[in-house]
Amino acid sequence: MAATDGHATEGIVQAVGRVKNVRSVPLVRYAHEDETGRPVVVIRVGLPPLLPLTEVVTAIAHVQLTLARLVPAGAAVHVEPDVAADQATPTEAIVIRGME
């Protein structure tokens, strides 16, 4: 799966977009680890802002399982949840608040 493969990206966006509680998939990025060359897929998913933490964890797990079926075997998958209520609230603020 190449980073420039728009069909692969579209397929990921569509499949992950069907996961329960995923509102959007604003980012899909491909890379390779420097030392090993192992493929890395980074995805950001928009989740409802009032979703309980247990449901956030469940949604992330389902996104990871969905991606595992679509990316090369052995690829590292990183899921970044975005639970901001609006575009003005940075994700980092939400994550920090959730940890407190």
> Is 51 inside any structural domain?
yes
> What is the DSSP pairing of strand 39-46 with strand 76-82?
parallel
Going by pLDDT thresholds of 50, 70 and 90, the confidence category of residue 18 is very high
What digits encode the pLDDT tens for the residues 59-98? 999 999 999 999 988 899 999 988 766 656 655 555 544 4
The CATH number linked to 37 is: 3.30.70.1350
Q: What is the pLDDT of residue 48?
A: 87
> Is 54 inside any structural domain?
yes
Number of domains in the chain: 1
Q: What is the pLDDT of residue 100?
A: 44
> Is 82 inside any structural domain?
yes
**Can you list the positions of beta strands (E) in 1-100?**
24-32, 39-46, 76-82
> Is 1 inside any structural domain?
no
- Tally of residues, the chain: 100
Mean pLDDT across 37-52: 89
Domain range for residue 68?
Answer: 6-99
Judged by DSSP in three states, 82 sits in strand
The percent of residues in the chain predicted with pLDDT above 90, rounded, is 42
The count of other CB atoms within 10 Å of the CB of residue 60 is: 18
